[in-house]
Amino acid sequence: MNINTDTIVSMTEANQNFSKVARLVDEKGMAVIMKNNAPRYLVMEFKQLKEQQLASDEDALTLSKRFIDSNRKAYTELAK
């Protein structure tokens, strides 16, 4: 996942000014809260969660299809 540096907020700043985090999410689509100089939390709109889950499911289906296609002979033998 690529993180836009404009969406990074420190834990201290998020704690003291959560409305800033909410504004970032409204403007940029997400905010990344850093803790101990590492990305720790991702804040995004709730409706984006469903979109992200659909994308993950599609990626898993694509990967599964490719794996089955490349190993079809082995699956055919196992099915006997």
CA angle 47, 27, 57 (to 5 degrees): 30
Angstrom CA distances, 39 to 33, 34, 52, stand at 6, 4, 19
Which tokens hold the place of 7?
A: 């969406």
The predicted-structure confidence for 24-72, as pLDDT tens digits, reads as follows 999 998 899 999 999 999 998 888 777 666 666 667 777 777 777 888 8
Residue 49 is predicted with a pLDDT of 74
Residue 23 confidence (pLDDT) above 70: yes
Which tokens hold the place of 60?
A: 């898993």
* pTM beyond 0.85: no
- The rounded distance, in Å, linking the Cα atoms of 69 and 27 is 42
